[in-house]
Structure 1
Amino acid sequence: MAFEVLDEHEQGELVRKWLRTNAMSIAIGITIGLLLIFGYKQWKARELRTHAEAALQFDAFVDAVDAKRSDDAKRIAEGLRKDYAKSAFSTFAAMRQAEVSVTDGDLKAAQADLDWANQSARNSVMKSLIALRQARLDLAEGKADAALAELDKVAKSDFPAIASELRGDALVKLGRSADARAAYAEALSNQDAQSPDRAFVEMKQADLPVSDAGVEKVAEKTKS
Protein backbone atom coordinates (compact mmCIF):
# COMPACT_ATOMS: atom_id res chain seq x y z
CA MET A 1 0.00 0.00 0.00
CA ALA A 2 1.16 3.53 -0.77
CA PHE A 3 0.21 4.53 2.77
CA GLU A 4 -1.51 3.12 5.79
CA VAL A 5 -4.30 4.77 7.74
CA LEU A 6 -3.09 5.33 11.31
CA ASP A 7 -5.29 4.04 14.11
CA GLU A 8 -6.26 6.25 17.06
CA HIS A 9 -3.36 5.02 19.22
CA GLU A 10 -0.79 5.76 16.55
CA GLN A 11 -2.32 9.20 15.91
CA GLY A 12 -2.16 9.95 19.63
CA GLU A 13 1.49 8.95 19.78
CA LEU A 14 2.34 11.21 16.85
CA VAL A 15 0.55 14.14 18.48
CA ARG A 16 2.36 13.58 21.80
CA LYS A 17 5.69 13.29 20.00
CA TRP A 18 5.02 16.53 18.10
CA LEU A 19 4.08 18.29 21.35
CA ARG A 20 7.27 17.10 23.09
CA THR A 21 9.38 18.24 20.15
CA ASN A 22 7.72 21.66 19.90
CA ALA A 23 6.90 22.27 23.58
CA MET A 24 9.34 25.18 23.88
CA SER A 25 8.05 26.92 20.74
CA ILE A 26 4.46 26.50 21.89
CA ALA A 27 5.26 27.89 25.33
CA ILE A 28 7.03 30.88 23.83
CA GLY A 29 4.14 31.52 21.45
CA ILE A 30 1.59 31.41 24.29
CA THR A 31 3.74 33.70 26.43
CA ILE A 32 4.13 36.24 23.63
CA GLY A 33 0.39 36.12 22.96
CA LEU A 34 -0.43 36.75 26.62
CA LEU A 35 2.09 39.59 26.79
CA LEU A 36 0.57 41.19 23.71
CA ILE A 37 -2.93 40.98 25.18
CA PHE A 38 -1.73 42.36 28.51
CA GLY A 39 0.25 45.12 26.76
CA TYR A 40 -2.76 46.13 24.66
CA LYS A 41 -4.98 46.31 27.72
CA GLN A 42 -2.39 48.38 29.56
CA TRP A 43 -2.02 50.71 26.56
CA LYS A 44 -5.79 51.07 26.26
CA ALA A 45 -6.12 51.84 29.97
CA ARG A 46 -3.34 54.42 29.73
CA GLU A 47 -5.02 56.02 26.70
CA LEU A 48 -8.33 56.30 28.55
CA ARG A 49 -6.62 57.72 31.62
CA THR A 50 -4.71 60.28 29.54
CA HIS A 51 -7.90 61.28 27.71
CA ALA A 52 -9.73 61.82 31.01
CA GLU A 53 -6.86 63.86 32.45
CA ALA A 54 -6.69 66.05 29.32
CA ALA A 55 -10.46 66.58 29.45
CA LEU A 56 -10.25 67.76 33.05
CA GLN A 57 -7.43 70.16 32.18
CA PHE A 58 -9.40 71.52 29.24
CA ASP A 59 -12.45 72.11 31.47
CA ALA A 60 -10.20 74.02 33.87
CA PHE A 61 -8.83 76.03 30.95
CA VAL A 62 -12.32 76.98 29.73
CA ASP A 63 -13.34 77.98 33.26
CA ALA A 64 -10.26 80.20 33.52
CA VAL A 65 -10.98 81.83 30.14
CA ASP A 66 -14.63 82.45 31.01
CA ALA A 67 -13.59 83.95 34.36
CA LYS A 68 -11.05 86.23 32.61
CA ARG A 69 -8.18 84.64 34.57
CA SER A 70 -5.67 85.11 31.75
CA ASP A 71 -2.59 83.90 33.60
CA ASP A 72 -4.29 80.69 34.75
CA ALA A 73 -5.67 80.05 31.27
CA LYS A 74 -2.24 80.51 29.70
CA ARG A 75 -0.58 78.23 32.27
CA ILE A 76 -3.15 75.45 31.77
CA ALA A 77 -2.94 75.75 27.98
CA GLU A 78 0.84 75.44 28.12
CA GLY A 79 0.44 72.33 30.28
CA LEU A 80 -1.93 70.81 27.74
CA ARG A 81 0.53 71.43 24.93
CA LYS A 82 3.41 69.96 26.92
CA ASP A 83 1.77 66.93 28.57
CA TYR A 84 -1.08 66.12 26.18
CA ALA A 85 0.19 67.33 22.80
CA LYS A 86 -1.42 64.40 20.97
CA SER A 87 -4.82 65.01 22.54
CA ALA A 88 -7.54 66.90 20.68
CA PHE A 89 -8.05 68.93 23.86
CA SER A 90 -4.69 70.66 23.43
CA THR A 91 -5.75 71.62 19.90
CA PHE A 92 -9.11 72.90 21.14
CA ALA A 93 -7.34 74.98 23.77
CA ALA A 94 -4.99 76.52 21.18
CA MET A 95 -7.96 77.43 19.00
CA ARG A 96 -9.76 79.01 21.95
CA GLN A 97 -6.60 80.94 22.81
CA ALA A 98 -6.49 82.27 19.26
CA GLU A 99 -10.11 83.40 19.59
CA VAL A 100 -9.32 85.25 22.83
CA SER A 101 -6.24 86.85 21.26
CA VAL A 102 -8.32 88.15 18.34
CA THR A 103 -10.81 89.65 20.79
CA ASP A 104 -7.91 91.31 22.60
CA GLY A 105 -6.55 92.63 19.31
CA ASP A 106 -3.37 90.55 19.48
CA LEU A 107 -3.44 89.08 15.98
CA LYS A 108 0.20 87.97 16.15
CA ALA A 109 -0.51 85.76 19.17
CA ALA A 110 -3.65 84.45 17.48
CA GLN A 111 -1.60 83.46 14.43
CA ALA A 112 0.92 81.59 16.59
CA ASP A 113 -1.89 79.69 18.35
CA LEU A 114 -3.54 78.72 15.06
CA ASP A 115 -0.20 77.57 13.63
CA TRP A 116 0.31 75.29 16.63
CA ALA A 117 -3.26 73.99 16.40
CA ASN A 118 -2.86 73.21 12.71
CA GLN A 119 0.36 71.28 13.32
CA SER A 120 -1.19 69.25 16.13
CA ALA A 121 -4.56 68.51 14.48
CA ARG A 122 -5.04 64.80 13.82
CA ASN A 123 -8.09 64.64 11.52
CA SER A 124 -9.49 66.36 8.43
CA VAL A 125 -12.53 67.90 10.12
CA MET A 126 -10.31 69.60 12.69
CA LYS A 127 -8.07 70.82 9.88
CA SER A 128 -11.11 72.31 8.14
CA LEU A 129 -12.22 74.07 11.32
CA ILE A 130 -8.75 75.55 11.80
CA ALA A 131 -8.71 76.71 8.17
CA LEU A 132 -11.98 78.56 8.83
CA ARG A 133 -10.46 80.25 11.87
CA GLN A 134 -7.38 81.14 9.82
CA ALA A 135 -9.59 82.63 7.10
CA ARG A 136 -11.33 84.81 9.70
CA LEU A 137 -7.94 85.97 10.96
CA ASP A 138 -6.76 86.75 7.43
CA LEU A 139 -9.90 88.82 6.85
CA ALA A 140 -9.30 90.70 10.10
CA GLU A 141 -5.84 91.54 8.78
CA GLY A 142 -7.22 92.59 5.40
CA LYS A 143 -5.73 89.59 3.57
CA ALA A 144 -8.69 88.58 1.40
CA ASP A 145 -6.64 86.51 -1.06
CA ALA A 146 -5.04 84.57 1.81
CA ALA A 147 -8.50 83.97 3.28
CA LEU A 148 -9.72 82.48 -0.01
CA ALA A 149 -6.65 80.22 -0.10
CA GLU A 150 -7.48 78.95 3.40
CA LEU A 151 -11.12 78.36 2.45
CA ASP A 152 -9.97 76.21 -0.46
CA LYS A 153 -8.53 73.83 2.16
CA VAL A 154 -11.95 73.26 3.74
CA ALA A 155 -13.64 70.06 2.59
CA LYS A 156 -16.96 70.77 0.84
CA SER A 157 -18.81 68.60 3.35
CA ASP A 158 -17.31 70.45 6.35
CA PHE A 159 -19.17 73.54 7.60
CA PRO A 160 -20.48 74.56 4.12
CA ALA A 161 -22.62 77.47 5.36
CA ILE A 162 -19.77 79.06 7.34
CA ALA A 163 -17.21 78.50 4.58
CA SER A 164 -19.46 80.02 1.91
CA GLU A 165 -20.27 83.04 4.06
CA LEU A 166 -16.57 83.70 4.71
CA ARG A 167 -15.87 83.26 1.02
CA GLY A 168 -18.50 85.91 0.32
CA ASP A 169 -16.86 88.24 2.85
CA ALA A 170 -13.47 87.81 1.18
CA LEU A 171 -14.91 88.38 -2.29
CA VAL A 172 -16.59 91.58 -1.11
CA LYS A 173 -13.21 92.89 0.06
CA LEU A 174 -11.82 92.09 -3.39
CA GLY A 175 -14.65 93.98 -5.07
CA ARG A 176 -16.08 90.85 -6.71
CA SER A 177 -19.74 91.55 -5.96
CA ALA A 178 -21.25 89.00 -8.35
CA ASP A 179 -19.08 86.20 -6.97
CA ALA A 180 -19.83 87.33 -3.42
CA ARG A 181 -23.56 87.22 -4.15
CA ALA A 182 -23.23 83.63 -5.36
CA ALA A 183 -21.21 82.70 -2.27
CA TYR A 184 -23.83 84.18 0.07
CA ALA A 185 -26.55 82.32 -1.86
CA GLU A 186 -24.59 79.11 -1.35
CA ALA A 187 -24.32 79.88 2.36
CA LEU A 188 -28.07 80.43 2.62
CA SER A 189 -28.79 77.17 0.77
CA ASN A 190 -26.83 75.32 3.46
CA GLN A 191 -28.48 77.09 6.39
CA ASP A 192 -31.58 76.02 8.20
CA ALA A 193 -34.55 78.34 7.67
CA GLN A 194 -34.65 79.00 11.42
CA SER A 195 -30.91 79.68 11.76
CA PRO A 196 -30.24 82.88 13.73
CA ASP A 197 -27.39 83.69 11.31
CA ARG A 198 -29.60 83.56 8.23
CA ALA A 199 -30.87 87.13 8.52
CA PHE A 200 -27.31 88.42 8.85
CA VAL A 201 -26.21 86.63 5.66
CA GLU A 202 -29.30 87.91 3.84
CA MET A 203 -28.41 91.44 4.97
CA LYS A 204 -24.87 91.05 3.61
CA GLN A 205 -26.27 89.86 0.31
CA ALA A 206 -28.77 92.73 0.13
CA ASP A 207 -26.04 95.30 0.82
CA LEU A 208 -24.05 94.23 -2.24
CA PRO A 209 -23.97 96.76 -5.07
CA VAL A 210 -26.15 95.97 -8.06
CA SER A 211 -24.23 94.10 -10.76
CA ASP A 212 -23.50 95.68 -14.13
CA ALA A 213 -26.27 93.61 -15.69
CA GLY A 214 -28.65 94.80 -13.03
CA VAL A 215 -27.66 98.43 -13.63
CA GLU A 216 -28.40 98.05 -17.34
CA LYS A 217 -31.84 96.60 -16.63
CA VAL A 218 -32.65 99.45 -14.24
CA ALA A 219 -31.51 101.96 -16.87
CA GLU A 220 -33.70 100.36 -19.52
CA LYS A 221 -36.74 100.47 -17.25
CA THR A 222 -36.04 104.13 -16.48
CA LYS A 223 -35.88 105.03 -20.20
CA SER A 224 -39.17 103.27 -20.94
Structure 2
Amino acid sequence: MVDELLSDNEREEALREWWRDNWAWILGGIVLGVALLFGWNHWGKHRQGQAESAALLYRDVETALMSRDVARAEEALAALTGKFDSSSYAAQGRLAVAKLQFEAGKYAEAEALLRKVADGAKDDELADVAQLRLARLLVQQGKNDDAIKLLEPLTAGGFGALAREIRGDALFAKGDKEGARAEYAAALANADAPIDRQLVELKLQDVGGVVPAASAVQRSL
Protein backbone atom coordinates (compact mmCIF):
# COMPACT_ATOMS: atom_id res chain seq x y z
CA MET A 1 0.00 0.00 0.00
CA VAL A 2 2.85 2.38 0.88
CA ASP A 3 4.66 1.55 -2.37
CA GLU A 4 1.59 2.52 -4.34
CA LEU A 5 1.67 6.00 -2.78
CA LEU A 6 5.31 6.62 -3.78
CA SER A 7 6.16 8.46 -6.97
CA ASP A 8 8.38 6.91 -9.57
CA ASN A 9 11.31 9.03 -8.43
CA GLU A 10 10.76 8.08 -4.81
CA ARG A 11 10.61 4.38 -5.67
CA GLU A 12 13.80 4.70 -7.74
CA GLU A 13 15.59 6.46 -4.88
CA ALA A 14 14.38 3.83 -2.42
CA LEU A 15 15.69 1.09 -4.68
CA ARG A 16 19.04 2.82 -4.96
CA GLU A 17 19.26 3.16 -1.20
CA TRP A 18 18.37 -0.51 -0.73
CA TRP A 19 21.08 -1.48 -3.23
CA ARG A 20 23.68 0.69 -1.45
CA ASP A 21 22.84 -1.04 1.82
CA ASN A 22 22.75 -4.59 0.49
CA TRP A 23 25.00 -4.88 -2.58
CA ALA A 24 27.90 -6.35 -0.63
CA TRP A 25 25.73 -9.12 0.81
CA ILE A 26 24.22 -9.94 -2.56
CA LEU A 27 27.57 -9.99 -4.33
CA GLY A 28 29.07 -12.06 -1.53
CA GLY A 29 26.25 -14.58 -1.83
CA ILE A 30 26.78 -14.90 -5.58
CA VAL A 31 30.53 -15.37 -5.14
CA LEU A 32 29.98 -17.95 -2.38
CA GLY A 33 27.47 -19.84 -4.52
CA VAL A 34 29.84 -19.95 -7.47
CA ALA A 35 32.68 -21.06 -5.21
CA LEU A 36 30.58 -23.84 -3.68
CA LEU A 37 29.48 -25.03 -7.11
CA PHE A 38 33.06 -25.02 -8.38
CA GLY A 39 34.29 -26.78 -5.24
CA TRP A 40 31.58 -29.44 -5.50
CA ASN A 41 32.37 -30.15 -9.13
CA HIS A 42 36.10 -30.25 -8.37
CA TRP A 43 35.53 -32.62 -5.44
CA GLY A 44 33.35 -34.86 -7.59
CA LYS A 45 36.02 -35.08 -10.29
CA HIS A 46 38.67 -35.68 -7.64
CA ARG A 47 36.70 -38.54 -6.10
CA GLN A 48 36.06 -40.07 -9.50
CA GLY A 49 39.75 -39.86 -10.31
CA GLN A 50 40.64 -41.45 -6.97
CA ALA A 51 38.18 -44.28 -7.52
CA GLU A 52 39.58 -44.96 -11.00
CA SER A 53 43.15 -45.00 -9.67
CA ALA A 54 42.18 -47.37 -6.85
CA ALA A 55 40.42 -49.65 -9.34
CA LEU A 56 43.56 -49.86 -11.48
CA LEU A 57 45.68 -50.82 -8.47
CA TYR A 58 43.09 -53.38 -7.40
CA ARG A 59 43.29 -54.89 -10.87
CA ASP A 60 46.99 -55.55 -10.21
CA VAL A 61 45.99 -57.43 -7.06
CA GLU A 62 43.50 -59.52 -9.04
CA THR A 63 46.12 -60.33 -11.67
CA ALA A 64 48.49 -61.60 -8.99
CA LEU A 65 45.71 -63.64 -7.41
CA MET A 66 44.92 -65.32 -10.71
CA SER A 67 48.52 -66.44 -11.00
CA ARG A 68 48.52 -67.64 -7.35
CA ASP A 69 51.65 -65.56 -6.77
CA VAL A 70 51.55 -64.71 -3.05
CA ALA A 71 54.56 -62.39 -3.06
CA ARG A 72 53.30 -60.47 -6.07
CA ALA A 73 49.81 -60.22 -4.55
CA GLU A 74 51.26 -58.84 -1.33
CA GLU A 75 53.26 -56.24 -3.26
CA ALA A 76 50.21 -55.19 -5.28
CA LEU A 77 48.14 -54.94 -2.12
CA ALA A 78 50.81 -52.80 -0.46
CA ALA A 79 50.70 -50.41 -3.41
CA LEU A 80 46.90 -50.23 -3.19
CA THR A 81 46.68 -49.72 0.56
CA GLY A 82 49.59 -47.27 0.52
CA LYS A 83 47.48 -44.80 -1.46
CA PHE A 84 43.89 -45.83 -0.78
CA ASP A 85 43.98 -47.51 2.61
CA SER A 86 40.43 -46.64 3.62
CA SER A 87 38.78 -47.51 0.29
CA SER A 88 36.50 -50.48 -0.31
CA TYR A 89 39.05 -51.70 -2.85
CA ALA A 90 41.63 -51.95 -0.05
CA ALA A 91 39.23 -53.97 2.12
CA GLN A 92 38.37 -56.32 -0.73
CA GLY A 93 42.04 -56.65 -1.61
CA ARG A 94 42.93 -57.60 1.95
CA LEU A 95 40.22 -60.24 2.02
CA ALA A 96 41.39 -61.77 -1.24
CA VAL A 97 45.09 -61.74 -0.39
CA ALA A 98 44.39 -63.14 3.09
CA LYS A 99 42.64 -66.11 1.45
CA LEU A 100 45.68 -66.73 -0.73
CA GLN A 101 47.99 -66.44 2.28
CA PHE A 102 45.83 -68.86 4.25
CA GLU A 103 46.01 -71.42 1.46
CA ALA A 104 49.80 -70.95 1.41
CA GLY A 105 50.02 -71.56 5.16
CA LYS A 106 50.91 -67.96 5.98
CA TYR A 107 48.47 -67.82 8.87
CA ALA A 108 49.97 -64.89 10.78
CA GLU A 109 49.96 -62.67 7.69
CA ALA A 110 46.40 -63.70 6.80
CA GLU A 111 45.22 -63.04 10.34
CA ALA A 112 46.69 -59.54 10.31
CA LEU A 113 44.89 -58.65 7.07
CA LEU A 114 41.58 -60.08 8.23
CA ARG A 115 41.73 -58.20 11.52
CA LYS A 116 42.40 -55.01 9.61
CA VAL A 117 39.20 -55.46 7.61
CA ALA A 118 37.14 -56.69 10.57
CA ASP A 119 38.13 -53.69 12.67
CA GLY A 120 38.26 -50.93 10.09
CA ALA A 121 36.11 -51.62 7.02
CA LYS A 122 33.48 -48.96 6.33
CA ASP A 123 31.26 -51.60 4.73
CA ASP A 124 29.62 -53.61 7.54
CA GLU A 125 29.14 -56.65 5.31
CA LEU A 126 32.83 -56.77 4.41
CA ALA A 127 33.68 -56.48 8.10
CA ASP A 128 31.38 -59.39 8.92
CA VAL A 129 32.88 -61.53 6.15
CA ALA A 130 36.34 -60.76 7.53
CA GLN A 131 35.23 -61.86 11.01
CA LEU A 132 33.88 -65.15 9.67
CA ARG A 133 37.07 -65.89 7.78
CA LEU A 134 39.18 -64.85 10.75
CA ALA A 135 37.22 -67.19 12.98
CA ARG A 136 37.85 -70.11 10.60
CA LEU A 137 41.53 -69.24 10.63
CA LEU A 138 41.57 -69.14 14.43
CA VAL A 139 39.97 -72.58 14.57
CA GLN A 140 42.57 -73.83 12.11
CA GLN A 141 45.26 -72.63 14.53
CA GLY A 142 43.59 -74.15 17.56
CA LYS A 143 42.50 -70.78 18.97
CA ASN A 144 39.00 -72.05 19.52
CA ASP A 145 37.98 -69.85 22.44
CA ASP A 146 39.02 -66.76 20.49
CA ALA A 147 36.92 -67.88 17.51
CA ILE A 148 33.85 -68.53 19.66
CA LYS A 149 34.09 -65.11 21.30
CA LEU A 150 34.72 -63.33 18.00
CA LEU A 151 31.56 -64.75 16.43
CA GLU A 152 29.18 -64.01 19.29
CA PRO A 153 27.93 -60.69 17.78
CA LEU A 154 27.19 -62.38 14.44
CA THR A 155 25.00 -65.23 15.64
CA ALA A 156 21.81 -63.15 15.41
CA GLY A 157 22.50 -61.37 12.11
CA GLY A 158 22.35 -62.22 8.44
CA PHE A 159 25.48 -64.35 8.80
CA GLY A 160 24.07 -66.11 11.85
CA ALA A 161 23.99 -69.61 10.36
CA LEU A 162 27.58 -69.38 9.17
CA ALA A 163 28.67 -68.06 12.54
CA ARG A 164 26.86 -70.93 14.26
CA GLU A 165 28.53 -73.50 12.02
CA ILE A 166 32.01 -72.15 12.74
CA ARG A 167 31.28 -71.94 16.45
CA GLY A 168 30.19 -75.57 16.24
CA ASP A 169 33.52 -76.45 14.63
CA ALA A 170 35.37 -74.63 17.42
CA LEU A 171 33.39 -76.38 20.15
CA PHE A 172 33.87 -79.76 18.49
CA ALA A 173 37.63 -79.09 18.33
CA LYS A 174 37.52 -78.42 22.07
CA GLY A 175 35.76 -81.73 22.66
CA ASP A 176 32.42 -80.14 23.52
CA LYS A 177 30.10 -82.30 21.42
CA GLU A 178 26.96 -81.10 23.17
CA GLY A 179 27.79 -77.48 22.45
CA ALA A 180 28.67 -78.35 18.86
CA ARG A 181 25.33 -80.14 18.40
CA ALA A 182 23.46 -77.05 19.58
CA GLU A 183 25.35 -74.78 17.19
CA TYR A 184 24.96 -77.03 14.14
CA ALA A 185 21.25 -77.48 14.86
CA ALA A 186 20.85 -73.71 15.18
CA ALA A 187 22.62 -73.23 11.84
CA LEU A 188 20.25 -75.64 10.13
CA ALA A 189 17.17 -74.06 11.70
CA ASN A 190 17.36 -71.22 9.18
CA ALA A 191 16.03 -72.67 5.93
CA ASP A 192 17.39 -69.80 3.83
CA ALA A 193 20.85 -69.69 5.37
CA PRO A 194 23.79 -69.47 2.91
CA ILE A 195 25.49 -72.63 4.17
CA ASP A 196 26.36 -76.02 2.77
CA ARG A 197 23.42 -77.78 4.41
CA GLN A 198 24.53 -81.32 3.62
CA LEU A 199 27.94 -80.65 5.14
CA VAL A 200 26.45 -79.15 8.30
CA GLU A 201 24.03 -82.09 8.54
CA LEU A 202 26.99 -84.48 8.42
CA LYS A 203 28.75 -82.47 11.12
CA LEU A 204 25.63 -82.62 13.27
CA GLN A 205 25.33 -86.38 12.84
CA ASP A 206 29.03 -86.83 13.63
CA VAL A 207 28.49 -85.29 17.07
CA GLY A 208 25.42 -87.44 17.75
CA GLY A 209 22.77 -85.00 16.61
CA VAL A 210 19.64 -85.60 14.57
CA VAL A 211 19.00 -83.67 11.39
CA PRO A 212 15.90 -81.46 11.83
CA ALA A 213 12.88 -82.74 9.92
CA ALA A 214 12.46 -79.42 8.11
CA SER A 215 16.04 -79.62 6.83
CA ALA A 216 15.60 -83.19 5.59
CA VAL A 217 12.38 -82.30 3.78
CA GLN A 218 13.97 -79.29 2.13
CA ARG A 219 16.92 -81.37 0.92
CA SER A 220 14.58 -83.91 -0.65
CA LEU A 221 12.70 -81.29 -2.67
TM-score, normalising length: structure 2: 0.82
What aligned pairs does 1:46-85 form with structure 2 within 5 A after superposition? Answer: 46-85=46-85
1:106 aligns with 2:118: no
Q: Is the 8 A contact 2:91 2:121 kept in 1?
A: yes
Residue equivalent to 1:147:
147
Residue equivalent to 2:218:
none
CA distance in 2, matches of 1:73, 1:113: 13
What do residues 120-157 of structure 1 show as CA deviations (whole Å, max 9, x unaligned)? Answer: 41132222122112211110111111001110233732
Q: 1:124 to 1:192 in 2, by over 3 A?
A: closer
Question: What's the % identity of the aligned pairs?
Answer: 31
Q: Secondary structure at the match of 1:153?
A: helix
Q: Is the 8 A contact 2:70 2:97 kept in 1?
A: no
Residue equivalent to 2:169:
169
Deviation (angstroms), 1:87 = 0.8
1:204 partner letter: K
Runs of 4+ in 1 over 4 A off after TM superposition: 8-13
Residue equivalent to 1:181:
181
Q: 1:196 to 1:178 in 2, by over 3 A?
A: closer
CA distance in 2, matches of 1:69, 1:198: 33
CA distance in 2, matches of 1:99, 1:22: 65
2:2 partner letter: V
1:203 partner letter: L
List alignment gaps of at least 5 residues for structure 1.
212-224
Residue equivalent to 1:199:
198
What do residues 153-187 of structure 1 show as CA deviations (whole Å, max 9, x unaligned)? Answer: 33732322211211211221233323322221222
Deviation (angstroms), 1:23 = 0.9
Deviation (angstroms), 1:201 = 0.6
Residue equivalent to 2:36:
36
Q: Is the 8 A contact 1:77 1:93 kept in 2?
A: yes
Deviation (angstroms), 1:15 = 4.0
Deviation (angstroms), 1:99 = 1.2
List alignment gaps of at least 5 residues for structure 2.
211-221
Please say which of residues 53-62 and 150-159 is displaced more in the overlay: 150-159
Deviation (angstroms), 1:192 = 4.0
Deviation (angstroms), 1:35 = 0.9
CA distance in 2, matches of 1:208, 1:173: 11
Q: 1:196 to 1:185 in 2, by over 3 A?
A: closer
1:5 partner letter: V
Q: 1:71 to 1:196 in 2, by over 3 A?
A: same
Calculate the aligned-residue CA RMSD, in Å: 2.4
